[in-house]
Amino acid sequence: MEIVSLTGRLICSSQSEADTVNQLLPVHVQLTRAEAGCLSFQVTPTEDPWIWNVAEQFTDLQAFEAHQLRVRASAWGQETAGIKREYRVDGLPTAAE
């Protein structure tokens, strides 16, 4: 299996959204890094206080999908669902695979 990598940005549109990210991010990072198959997980602020760079790597598709399922059910996933994300995911199987 191929490593799955996600890179991109989390982009808030208000101070309220940024406050939510700042409040929930530490636990989200801690839980993600503890997941089986998580190789790396970084969410770093940019010069713009409403934008964060995101970079994550998982050992394989199964670990990445498990992460996505956990996140959707978490406080982070529910309370940040409306925040804009610009992500690129590499290592996913294509239709030909």
pLDDT digits 0-9 by tens, 33-50: 999 999 999 999 999 999
**Angle 79-92-83 from CA coordinates, rounded to 5°:** 20
Question: Distance between CA atoms of 59 and 61, rounded to whole angstroms?
Answer: 7
Token readout for 74 is 């978490």
- Classify domain 4-87 by CATH architecture: 2-Layer Sandwich (3.30)
Taking alpha carbons only, the member of 72, 4, 2 closest to residue 38 is 4
Kindly report the number of other CB atoms within 10 A of residue 34's CB atom. Answer: 9
Kindly indicate the confidence band of residue 95, based on its pLDDT and cuts at 50, 70 and 90.
Answer: low
Across 12-83, the runs of DSSP E, i.e. the strands, are 38-45, 51-58
At 47-90, the pLDDT tens digits run 999 999 999 999 999 999 999 999 999 999 999 999 999 999 99
Cβ atoms of 89 and 5 within 8 Å: the answer is yes
44-27-50 Cα angle (round to 5): 35
4 neighbors 60 (Cβ within 8 angstroms): yes
pTM score above 0.95:
no
